[in-house]
Structure 1
Amino acid sequence: MATREKRLAQFDGSGNPPPDLPLEVLCEDHSGTYQLPFACRWIDGRWRNDRTGGMVEATVVGWRLPRSSAI
């Protein structure tokens, strides 16, 4: 199992995310860190599910450009 530091190192997350681009996001809760299984977009200061447009109700601690075409 990857440690929190290793997961955070895999996600850029520095500065503001590029607007209107699909991104992979890393979230964190009381159980640990996890990557959402869907792409998200940073729109008007909020994270949204790229496919549905629904707001992400998790604490996002990192983001990165997609690493594969699977998203």
Structure 2
Amino acid sequence: MATRERRLAEFDGEGVPAPGLAVQVLCEDHSGTYQLPFACIYVDGQWENAETGDRVEARVVGWRRISVE
């Protein structure tokens, strides 16, 4: 599972992000790990789509700040 460990290392956020901070999240299911194609925020113990406010119905295993290039 080297790929899983490498991806987890790329999503190095610890704890939970600051309130209102939009981040990229890494999720995991029976097929493996994947990055959601939209920014998320952590609100009241739940991950939400930063744009729509919809609850993320996936198991989030890591997060990272969105890089600005």
Regions of 4+ moved over 6 Å = none
* Distance (Å, rounded) in 2 between the aligned partners of 1:61 and 1:15: 11
**What's the TM-score, normalizing by structure 1?**
0.88
Cα deviation digits, residues 4-28 of structure 1 (max 9, x gap): 0000000113122222110000000
CA-based RMSD: 1.4
SS in 2 for 1:3: helix
Q: Residues 12-62 of structure 1: CA distance to partner in whole angstroms, max 9, x if unpaired?
A: 131222221100000000000000000000011100001100000000000
Conservation of the 8 A alpha-carbon contact between 2:13 and 2:65: no
* Counterpart residue number, 1:16: 16
2:7 aligned residue: 7
- Do the aligned residues in 2 keep the contact of 1:24 with 1:40 (CA within 8 Å)? yes
Percentage identity across paired residues of the two chains:
65
Tell me what 2:26 maps to: 26
Residues in 1 aligned to 2:25 and 2:68: alpha-carbon distance in whole angstroms: 14
The residue type paired with residue 51 of structure 2 is R
Unaligned segments of structure 2, at least 5 residues: none
Query: Where does structure 1 lack aligned partners over 5 or more consecutive residues?
Result: none
Instruction: Provide the aligned length of Structure 1 versus Structure 2.
Output: 68
